[in-house]
Chains A and B, each alone.
Chain A
Amino acid sequence: MTGLAVLAVWLGQADKGFAVVLAGKYQVGKADRLENYSRTIPLKAFEIAKLDTTNAEFAAFVRATGYVTDAEKNHNAMVFEPGLKEFEWIQDHSASWRFPNGKPRGSITGKMDHPVTSISFHDASEYCKWAEVRLPTLDEWEVASRAGAKTDYFFGSDESLIGKYANIWHGRDHLKPDFSDGYMYTSPVGKFLPNPLGLYDVYGNVFQFCSGRLSSDRSERVRHARGGSWWCSKNACCFFNSVDIGSVDVKASFSNQGFRVARDLAVR
């Protein structure tokens, strides 16, 4: 194992919904990246959810606490509809986690097993406080997503395999709808093949919020998410990998961003 720590699932010790990453030193980053450059990092043991947090789980949080999300308060969620130019999104005052792309484009009825979206980093953090979990750090997410791989993807370097593992956008652009993998927006969690650690939707479906900052952050408001989303295509951002790190405002709500939770191993 070249002196690096062993990465494994502790069957029997891990909660059914969590995978365990052992304490150790891990290889992260990529040689040609200035921010996330290739390096070895030490990590404490932690657990990370195998699935993204769903609408059903977020609904339970809202029922228990009466929490009102940023998009519900501020009516400023950003949504997508086919026909927009690359990287263009539109603000929809009616959009929130209950109507991820705005009321005209439908609700989450019948989609309670989809990842919760149209929430902000701030909302995700509030959920974590209630659920007594936390967001993974940028490094934890990367180590868990790689599952031991040193390539851009946990399945190697062949990007053409991405469709087996991720709900992404397969269209050349975003002018027309793309249902080629069965879903234009989110898919139910766990519909695509998992990584060797047992994590589903590591890439695609929704950007997953992570804690931590980058040296390039120009504002206190910047937060980060990883893994790409259903919107991402190979011809646009290609962020569906273990290397790239997204940046977004702490109060921004988009219908392609969600989260998966983590927790310290010592807690259990």
Chain B
Amino acid sequence: MKRLLSICIIVAVSTSLFAQFDPPGLTKASKAYHAYRMVETDPSYGLTKVESLIKRIKSVNDYSQEIAAKTFNALSVPDKFTYCMLHGEVFSQNCDGMPATLGEEKMIFGHPLGPWFGQNQWSDRQKSFLHHNRTAVVGLLRSTIRSNSRVGCNLKMAITELDAWELIPDLAASYNKAKQDGDILSVFFLLMKDGKFKPFLISETYKKIYADEDASYKSFVAYNPENAQLTIQRATAYYKSRKE
């Protein structure tokens, strides 16, 4: 018993020391997963043209984040979609980017990471475009998801902004390719929350990440195969309930 106690103390002290001095071995997986969560997806529609427009904004001056109204209005719907997925026209506040956390790869958060490293967000005209063209944008999101191996954090933001529950089967298919992208499960949480899907609203997950008195944007549930499976099952049931 004494020996077991000694081993426990050594393990506890070692863990504490490792945590304090941040050895690469301990944080490598978490850093890699944080970087994985920040990956964006470039839609193919007018990509070269849109990239050129964004580059030009940044070369004109050091403060404006917008293309001219005339240029914006002249873009086709697919080109505007690409523009919105690649660029937010207004700044984001200091706390928009959530801190990278040890053990992040073992967490499903209540909110996915946003795009552009938390530095920008959509302007009113960009949001207006997305909402006024919801049907077309959902179609563009679907084809972009299907033609890419990942659902970037920019696409995820558009999906939650538009409450695009129609994309649940495509998101589930994308998740099942690698079973790594916990932020797709976070998108499912948000879609079910916004859709007030009762089986989710009465769940322990909902309580922990959204309803508890202390629930915040840092709240999470354990990322394990059981929780992932349960979330996909619930999201699929939610999708079917909306289709009926």
Contacts and interface: CB of A to CB of B under 8 A. Distances in A.
Interface of A: 31-39, 70, 73-74, 76, 78, 86-91, 207, 216, 218-219, 221-222, 224-225, 228-229, 231-232, 234-239, 243-249, 251-252, 254, 256-257
A50 B28 CA distance: 39
B215 interface: yes
B103 A78 contact: no
A87 B92 CA distance: 8
B214 A234 contact: yes
Contact of B62 (A86, A91, A239, A251): A251
The 4 closest A-B pairs by CB, nearest first: A246-B94, A237-B95, A252-B91, A31-B19
A36 B20 CA distance: 11
Interface in B136-166: none
From A36, A37, A38, A244, name the one whose CB has the most chain B CB atoms within 10 angstroms: A37
Given A33-B99, A78-B91, A245-B99, A39 B123 contact: no
Nearest to A77: B91
B99 A249 contact: no
Q: Main SS of chain B's interface residues?
A: loop
Contact of B93 (A31, A37, A78): A78
B216 interface: yes
A38 B22 contact: yes
Interface string B1-44: 00000000000000010011110000100110010000000000
Contact of A238 (B100, B123, B218): B218
A87 B34 contact: no
Given A76-B64, A234-B216, A34 B93 contact: no
B204 interface: no
Nearest to A31: B19
B51 interface: no
Given A89-B90, A249-B120, 6 more contacts: A31-B20, A74-B64, A248-B91, A248-B93, A251-B63, A257-B93
Which applies to chain A's interface (DSSP): helix, strand, loop or mixed? loop
A73 B21 CA distance: 45
A78 B216 contact: no
Nearest to B210: A235
Contacts of A33: 99-102
B93 A256 contact: yes
A251 B16 CA distance: 40
Contacts of A221: 119
Contacts of B78: none
B41 to A, nearest CB: 17
Contact of B102 (A34, A87, A247, A254): A34
Nearest to B218: A238
Interface in B89-129: 90-104, 117-121, 123-124
Contact of B215 (A39, A78, A235): A235
B127 to A, nearest CB: 9
Contact of B19 (A32, A90, A234): A32
A38 B119 CA distance: 26
Contacts of B95: 87, 207, 228, 232, 236-237, 239, 244, 246
Contacts of B94: 207, 224-225, 229, 239, 246-248, 254, 256-257
A91 B122 CA distance: 11
A70 B215 CA distance: 36
11 contacts: A32-B19, A34-B34, A34-B100, A39-B20, A87-B96, A87-B217, A91-B124, A236-B217, A238-B218, A239-B94, A243-B99
Q: Which of A239, A248, A251, A257 has the most CB of B within 10 A?
A: A248
